[in-house]
Amino acid sequence: MKDEKELLVLGIETSCDETAAAVVRGGREILSSVIYSQIALHTLYGGVVPELASRKHIEKIDPVIREALAQAGTELADIDVIGVTMGPGLVGALLVGVAEAKAIAFAAEKPLVGVNHIEGHVCANFLQDPSLEPPFLCLIVSGGHTHLVRMTDYGKFEILGRARDDAAGEAFDKVARAIGLGYPGGPKIDAAAKSGNAHAYEFPRAHVDGSPYDFSFSGLKSAVLNDLNQARMQGREPVQADVAASFQRAVVDVLVEHTMRAAEDFVEEKIALAGGVASNSALRAAMQKACDASGRKLYVPAPVLCTDNAAMIACAAHYEYLQGRTSGWDLNAVPALKLGERAGGREDRDLKGAAEKANWVRRQ
């Protein structure tokens, strides 16, 4: 087999509203990363419209892959492994990437690796800092998922906490809509909050009884909506920037507090952030401050690696491949795939259901 450091992986990502392809060398070096964002299309509707997303992926996937290969100075024949997001995500969107990856891998006779999108987000940290190795603590905050995990080894996760209701990104998106900032909510709240007073409102910080690392953001979202309604009934129009800044502070406080508590309890010196919300400027600053104060090292991917991209999928596929896990031609999209879930080749308890759906094959 080729030297691990020379392996070229083509990553493909179509789980939501970004059509992306990337070429990564040795699991750590991005040779190209092309992202076609569908934001302009979905903005017209105030959020992602799943069917339109699938149609756009179909239209863009080929040119995006060609562009990624060209920018990397490679041809399909040079690629060693093809990695693709198999879930979680929108089923129609995922199917475009999965079908494309299968077709390319079959035609070019390359190994195929189905990747868990959430694990991909964590792997963005390996691209940002090639010296990072597990174990470390990771806060994953995306549009659909909020998890506090320990990555104990490549592809191995211990889940310490998760969102019981709305994910952090979902809360950003819903509050943004309520205060008239529109889609995509997270970046708009981030920008608006910069000119707002973060102490204008005291929104609640929810804790889940008996689960110190779990998160709950739906109460916070309701509190914001109630305050807005009350103000409007009294004839006052709330200051958008103040609501944005106060809401953001409440989310960031809880994310930082729970992460630092877990770091203390599990004696973790390395903390990583992952997922779209990890590009939030207030979260990055607060987490850096907390890590500096407690002598811990913080790893944060550049914003473009926090939000959906295919380089992180190529990186995750690289380590799956090295561990001998490739997918069969029956690889399917698994829209509700859980973190750490893949089918076969792994001892995790959760894997049984996925095994039936995705059929991973241990390479000989």
Cβ-proximal residues to 364 (8 Å cutoff; 6+ apart), any chain: none
R_g of the chain, CA atoms, integer Å: 20
Q: How far is the CB of 361 from ligand KG4 (least distance, A)?
A: 27
Q: Which partner from the list Zn ion, ligand KG4, none does 172 bind, CB cut-off 5 to 8 Å by kind?
A: ligand KG4
x/- contact string, 171-210, with ligand KG4 (CB under 6 A)?
A: -xx----------xxxx--x--------------------
Site for ligand KG4 in 320-359 (CB under 6 A): none
Stretch that binds Zn ion, among 67-75, 156-164, 244-252, 308-316 (CB under 5 A): 308-316
- Residue 336 is encoded by which pair of tokens? 């509700």
Residue 144 near which of Zn ion, ligand KG4, none (CB within 5-8 Å, type-dependent): ligand KG4
**Pairing label, strands 136-141, 146-153:** antiparallel
Q: Which is nearer to Zn ion, 20 or 176 (CB)?
A: 20
Q: Which is nearer to ligand KG4, 111 or 185 (CB)?
A: 185
Residue 120 engages ligand KG4 in binding (rule: CB under 6 A): no
State whether residue 338 is helix, strand or coil: coil
Is 85 a binding residue for Zn ion by CB under 5 A? The answer is no
Among 104-112, 140-148, 206-214, 291-299, the segment contacting Zn ion (CB under 5 A): 140-148
CB of 112 to Zn ion, least distance (A): 21
Q: Based on CB atoms, which residue is closest to ligand KG4, 111 or 187? A: 187
Closer by beta carbon to ligand KG4, 252 or else 291: 252
> Using CA atoms, how far apart are residues 341 and 339, in angstroms rounded to an integer?
5
CB nearer to ligand KG4: pick between 185 and 238? 185
In the chain, how many H helices and how many E strands? 12, 12
DSSP code for 337: P
Q: Which residues pair with 136 in a beta bridge?
A: 151
* Contact residue for Zn ion among 19, 128, 142, 146 (CB under 5 A): 142
Is there binding between residue 16 and ligand KG4 (CB under 6 A)? yes
Given a contact cutoff of 8 angstroms between Cβ atoms, the answer to whether 358 and 332 are in contact is: yes
Q: Compute, in degrees rounded to 10, the torsion defined by CA atoms 134, 137, 141, 144.
A: 70
Q: Which of 46, 79, 61, 76 is nearest to 15 (CA)?
A: 61
Instruction: Please give the backbone phi and psi of residue 139, each rounded to the nearest 5 degrees, phi first.
Output: -100, 115
355, 344 Cβ separation under 8 angstroms: yes
**Binding residues for ligand KG4, per CB under 6 A?**
16, 121, 142-144, 169, 172-173, 184-187, 190, 275-277, 279-280, 307-308
User: Which residues in this chain contact Zn ion in the complex, by CB under 5 A?
Assistant: 142, 308
